[in-house]
Amino acid sequence: MPEPTFDEATLQRRFVGDLDGHFFVPGYQRGYRWGEHEVGRLLDDIQQSGNEPYYLQPIVVKRLADGRWELVDGQQRLTTLFLILQYIRLNALPTAHPRYSLEYETRPDSQAYLSELNPDDHTRNIDFFHIYKAYACIREWFNRQGNELQAAIDFYTAMSKSVQVIWYEAPTQTDSKELFRRLNVGRIPLTDAELVKALLLARVRDTPGQTDQAHEVAAQWDVIERDLRAPEVWAFVTKKAHGEATHIRLILDTLADAVSKPPVRGSRPLFHTFETLRPRIEESARSVWNDIQDMHSLLLGWYEDRDLYHRIGFLVAMGELFENVVNLARGRARSELEAILTARIRARLLRTADQIRELTYPSEKCTEVLLLMNVESIRRRTGSSERYSFQAHASGAWSLEHIHARNADPLRRAEQWTEWLRLHREALSAVPTDSEAERDMLIADIDGVLATSPLPENKFRELEERVVRILSAGGETEDEMHSISNLALLASGDNSALNNSVFEVKRQEIIRRDKVGAYIPACTRDAFLKYYTDAHAQQTHFWGTKDREGYLTEMLRLLDPYLTASSAA
């Protein structure tokens, strides 16, 4: 069965106090089940809204042949609002009668009970029980307000003048059960995007003197949504590995924020985007649709442009909002935007070459510098189609990895010591040495302790010292160990034994990961494969002074456009 469409739906805003008519709750829905948490949150939210417009979740209805409204979605909210109005009528404003009624197909007595609320009958069935418990919550909430009468009057005023619902009237041919399943069983509520789409299509269809292009708009809408769902595209503009129910909301939110005064920051109010764009759509739906298409084209154009892709992607990965980049680009030629992005990265980096050399673990700036190095390394490969994967970057936690770790002091458990010795035993077997007899004796000693359990710490520390002596280039100072010239960007894992291993162990692990298709940042891979070391200084199995110098030289070369003026490398 095809998914229900909202393309011909009617959307309106309605104050709660203006809701009228007879609502029919069909038998495919469960009974009323809101508890203290849901009822209390609704009361608190309405009270805290003050006199400002406040939107509840949409009420989805379909007109029946006899004039009643089939209530497809919103039973819990409408029932609770009815109970609130009943409380206000009985305790503060006798004239505050609800203007609507609720009828339940499989629970006909519930309609009468909503009006009577007889406490003696609340245990007759499960629906009466939940209705009465909700009413008790409402009574207790008002009792806590101090001046109960005034609180009730203020609440009634709010429901009449500020609290609104999105009235969503589905086409009469809609399959109600399938629509209900989508909205409730699938837990996919109506979103800003769907509300915008429905209103946009309705307005495009109803524009006098112009051909109906609703089907064309709906098809293109789906194309935009599909394009944004591509993982690499989505991560590039949001730094998120996974998408949302509707990806096109990114474009809609950006368009809304362009006219919202002030723009929204942080959590967005319910249906803020829809309500912000609604007046524009009602004035000129085609103009809004053109803006949506233009922003889609702009976004994909940036994605296809390798230079812009890498610079924008880096800024977004560092926390820059997509809408900020859009504002930077507005009215500017590509060359101007490129210069602005370069300046923005430079302002973010805010380092001279000397300051880069002085960076040490665990400074967060090291992570930023290494990410920029990797991004720039790929961006400058003009003859290559390779791109830095912001999707892979967004998919997991990335950490600063010591290219060569000189000791395993952070390891505190016997199982960590055992794993560390196992890893280094494999490396010892592959590394040539001036004293094969010493190496073979060390391997034999490792085999001996690995066969014992538990492993004593003093024995591990003795073997650790001997292993590091053979598998290190020698002469490293503590500062050199933590210098950025000994750091690389790598997906973090929980293998602490590997994290505290010497270069050769990590080199073998990098090769293993590369063979199975794991994403390894380009500069991390190149460092472990000794791309940055002069040929005459190559020592494949060790990471020494010449390796660090070559790595740092390449780092400064790649970062040069973003270093401050006094920092020529």
DSSP states along 242-294? S--S-TTHHHHHHHHHHHSSSPP-SSPPTTHHHHHHHHHHHH-HHHHHHHHHH
Rounded CA separation 101/112 (Å): 10
- The average pLDDT across 549-559 equals 96
pLDDT of amino acid 2: 40
Closest CA to 289 of 251, 245, 323, 322: 251
From the number of C-beta atoms within 10 Å of its C-beta (0-12, 13-18, 19+), residue 44 rates as exposed
pTM strictly above 0.85:
no
Amino acid at 32: Y
Most confident by average pLDDT, 51-55, 475-479, 553-557 = 553-557
The upper half-sphere exposure of residue 295, i.e. CA atoms within 13 Å in the direction of its Cβ, equals: 24
Q: Provide the pLDDT confidence category of residue 9 given band limits of 50, 70 and 90.
A: low
In degrees, rounded to 5, the angle at the alpha carbon of residue 278 between the alpha carbons of residues 202 and 175 is 40
Q: What average pLDDT does the structure give for the chain?
A: 86
- The average pLDDT across 430-451 equals 82
Query: Does residue 228 sit in helix, strand or coil?
Result: helix
pLDDT higher than threshold 90 for residue 352: yes
pLDDT of amino acid 246: 85
pLDDT of amino acid 189: 58
Q: Which residues, 6+ apart, have CB-to-CB distance to 86 below 8 Å?
A: 98, 114, 115, 117, 135
pLDDT of amino acid 186: 46
In degrees, rounded to 5, the angle at the alpha carbon of residue 558 between the alpha carbons of residues 557 and 564 is 80
- The average pLDDT across 356-375 equals 94
Give the model confidence (pLDDT) of 300-326 as tens digits: 999 999 999 999 999 999 999 999 999
Query: Does residue 165 sit in helix, strand or coil?
Result: strand
Amino acid at 69: W
pLDDT higher than threshold 60 for residue 567: no
pLDDT higher than threshold 50 for residue 569: no
Give the model confidence (pLDDT) of 177-227 as tens digits: 888 877 765 445 568 888 888 888 878 876 655 556 788 898 999 999 999
More confident residue, 352 or 8: 352
Residue 206: count of CB within 10 angstroms of its CB? 11
Amino acid at 25: V
How many residues are there in the chain?
Answer: 569
pLDDT of amino acid 228: 96
Instruction: Look at strands 10-15 and 54-63 and give their pairing.
Output: unpaired
Query: Does residue 146 sit in helix, strand or coil?
Result: coil
Closest CA to 46 of 147, 141, 148, 184: 141
pLDDT of amino acid 522: 94
Amino acid at 323: E
Q: Provide the pLDDT confidence category of residue 487 given band limits of 50, 70 and 90.
A: very high
More confident residue, 563 or 422: 563
User: How far, CA to CA in Å, does 214 sit from each of 8, 202, 209, 463?
Assistant: 9, 8, 14, 74
Rounded CA separation 211/311 (Å): 42
Rounded CA separation 463/444 (Å): 11
From the number of C-beta atoms within 10 Å of its C-beta (0-12, 13-18, 19+), residue 420 rates as buried
Give the model confidence (pLDDT) of 242-289 as tens digits: 877 789 999 999 999 888 766 666 667 778 898 889 889 989 999 999
Give the model confidence (pLDDT) of 119-174 as tens digits: 888 888 888 999 999 999 999 999 999 898 999 999 999 998 888 888 889 888 88
Give the model confidence (pLDDT) of 369-409 as tens digits: 999 999 999 999 988 899 999 999 998 778 888 898 877 66
Rounded CA separation 525/531 (Å): 9
pLDDT of amino acid 436: 79
Contact yes or no for 497/420 (Cβ under 8 A) = yes
pLDDT higher than threshold 90 for residue 471: no
Give the model confidence (pLDDT) of 47-98 as tens digits: 887 777 788 888 999 999 999 999 999 999 999 999 999 999 999 999 888 8
